[in-house]
Amino acid sequence: MKKFYVTTPIYYVNDSPHIGYTYTTVAADVLARWNRFIGSPTFFLTGTDEHGAKILESAKKMNREPKEHCDAIAGEFKSAWKKMNISNDDFIRTTDTRHEQTVREFLNKLYTDKKIYKAKYNGLYCVQCERFLVDTELEGGLCPDHKTRPVEQSEENYFFKLSDYRKKLIDIISDGSMGILPEGRKKEILGKLKLGLEDISISRANLPWAIPLPFDEAQTTYVWIDALINYISGCPQNFWPANVHLIGKDILWFHSVIWPALLLAVGLPLPEKIYAHGFFTVNGQKMSKTIGNVIRVEELTDKFGVDATRYLLLSAFPFGTDGDFSMDGLKEKYNSDLANNIGNLVSRVVTMVEKYTEGRIPEGQKSKKLWNELLLIKEHYENLDFNKILDTILKTVDSVNRYIDSSAPWKLAKEKNSKLNDVLSNLCETLWVLAHYLYPIMPQTAQRIWEQLGQAGKIESSNFLLDNKIVFTKVGSVGTEVGSVGKEEIKITRPKIPLFPRLT
Ligand code: ME8
């Protein structure tokens, strides 16, 4: 089975975690959970970006020592991810000794292989972006993203020979040997590369809060070079190259141009895919501290619960595109997709089995595979097409609800018609399969459905996604004693609390 290594950006510790970071991290978690479920050896890395002028400024503002500040915010990220049920295998911090050591080795290799040279540089630096801006990017002299005036910097720095890699980058991006997704982003990067590529400064002369260059301690490492190397320093043996670097579109240039060029320069394999998702606004406005519309993770989890928040983030708009969030929109989606659709289906089926067959999953004719379409989801996961995944799930739930309406089990029960068993057994199987496909997105919900179907243990130990066999296991058995649909011992239980209580 092919290994799977997925990463998120490492987030700046200038601010507490908000739903922008949660968006990317949940998406990466869904991919990691899916890959583990289908049996791939999986490694999922996230972490925090802790050096540079921006972090130093934010520490000063909060009257904290830089490291103390980083510890506090990195701790907030860790607990936010725990709360969101994020299954990262490691959490890398750029202040970790293991990371600093890797950065030194990486830079030393570039230096000894003569991929770095010293030169004078004059430029306009935006601390919030942590990069130099060129004149054509400015709007009225200001950074277009942060609306702040960049500062003029003139110093002697070390430069990486980025321009040497222009042709090679164009080739590997054009022929798809390093994937950039969605397709539109690939075109955007190729377009820019065709215009030219300049060398970049990789060090700073007067910035103490950064990793000193191993070959010239008077200079420190540029924060972006430091940060990108986290994907190597946090990667266990045999997992490189990354299969997916999941990022927002704001940092695509760094990941699709600078990062692969650095890897080519040190002779390491390139990531398989870089996926840049869209950016979202809140009620039509950019999420920012100044506007005061930053949504914290807890605001969503307090209202909707963890699983629903994961679902709502991924379903609000197509993954690769920009979109807008509004609390009203999220609530509407919660009620329609989760309370009325998925939650209601589970409750309908479980209630009928309890009422008509005393909680036993009956044996019946499998006349109809209601869940056939769910099998297509595998391909959507491979393409990171979260929208198609969710659409397929909702379509299936819709058609199962229609199947219930048309087969009217309540009538069959009244008539003591033996077809009732066929219908109920079909429905139980469908919920069983559905729970598997819901698991990566809503792991706790999937587990609850699993338990309501009378299944013991953890749903993630099920083999269904490997062998497509439905095997209902008797509660209390130790894994070897398996039953099939119809075993009397399997009792399904109606939950005391609905999966998704309706919000008013
Ligand atoms: O750029 N919509 O970190 P960062 C969607 N440290 N995604 C959003 C978002 C929004 N409104 N706001 C933030 C950095 N994000 C560097 C990365 S990696 C080697 C170094 C997400 O704290 C999105 O994933 O500014 C975006 O790319 C990332 O947060 C930027 O996080």
Distance 22 CA to ligand 1 centre (A): 10
- Whether pLDDT at 289 is above 80: no
Q: Is residue 112 within 8 Å of residue 104, measured between CB atoms?
A: no
Residue 320: both structure tokens together: 């690769």
- The preferred substitution site among 11, 127, 294, 384 for testing ligand 1, maximizing ligand atoms within 8 Å of CB, is 11
Atom of ligand 1 nearest to the CA of 259: 19
Q: How far is CA 391 from CA 374, 383, 386, in A?
A: 10, 14, 8
CA-proximal residue: ligand 1, atom 30 (nearest): 11
Is 53 within 8 Å of 97 (Cβ atoms)? no
pLDDT tens-digit readout, 292-319: 788 999 999 999 999 999 999 999 989 9
Question: Residue 46: in which H helix or E strand, if any?
Answer: strand 42-49
Q: What is the pLDDT of residue 286?
A: 80
Work out the end-to-end distance of the chain between its first and last CA atoms, rounded to an integer number of angstroms: 46
Output the pTM of the full model. 0.95
Q: What are phi and psi of 8, to 5 degrees?
A: -110, 170
Q: Which residue out of 24, 55, 296 has the highest number of ligand 1 atoms within 8 Å of its CB and is therefore the one to mutate?
A: 24
Question: Are the CB atoms for 114 and 158 separated by under 8 Å?
Answer: no
Dihedral of alpha carbons 131, 136, 141, 147, sign? negative
Q: What is the pLDDT of residues 219-275, one digit of tens each?
A: 999 999 999 999 999 999 999 999 999 999 999 999 999 999 999 999 999 999 999
Residue nearest ligand 1's atom 7 by CA: 20
- Residue 189, classed as helix, strand or coil, is helix
* Atom of ligand 1 at shortest range from CA of 14: 22
226 Cα: distance to centroid of ligand 1 (angstroms):
16
Question: Do 15 and 51 meet the contact criterion of CB atoms below 8 Å apart?
Answer: no
Atom of ligand 1 nearest to the CA of 11: 22
Number of Cα atoms under 13 Å in the Cβ half of residue 78: 11
Amino acid in position 477: S
Contacts of 313 (CB under 8 A, 6+ apart): 19, 22, 23, 26, 300
Q: Which residues line ligand 1 (CB under 6 A)?
A: 9-12, 20-21, 23-24, 49, 227-228, 230, 247-248, 250-251, 279-280, 287
**Which residues have CB under 8 Å from 490's CB, separation 6+?**
360, 361, 453, 454, 472, 474, 475, 483
Contact in structure between 188 and 171 (CB atoms under 8 Å): no
Provide the CATH number for the domain formed by 327-489 in this structure: 1.10.730.10
- For the beta carbon of residue 137, count every other beta carbon within 10 angstroms: 15
In whole angstroms, how far apart are CA 504 and each of 85, 309, 328, 331, 347?
Answer: 26, 17, 11, 9, 19
Q: Ligand 1: distance of its center to the CA of 212 in Å?
A: 25
Give the SS3 label for residue 369: coil
Residue 486: pLDDT band by 50, 70, 90 thresholds? very low
Place of tokens 């706790």: 444
Digit-coded pLDDT (tens) for 395-409? 999 999 999 999 999
List, as one string, the DSSP characters of 293-315: -PPBHHHHHHHH-HHHHHHHHHH
Nearest CA to ligand 1 atom 29: 21
CA 40–ligand 1 middle distance (angstroms): 27
324 strand-pairing partners: 281
Half-sphere exposure of 395 (CA within 13 A, CB side): 13
Nearest residue (CA) to ligand 1, atom 13: 20
Q: For residue 96, give the DSSP letter.
A: S
Give per-residue pLDDT as tens, 2-43: 999 999 999 999 988 999 999 999 999 999 999 999 999 999
Mutation pick for ligand 1 pocket among 91, 250, 291, 386 (CB with most ligand atoms within 8 Å)? 250
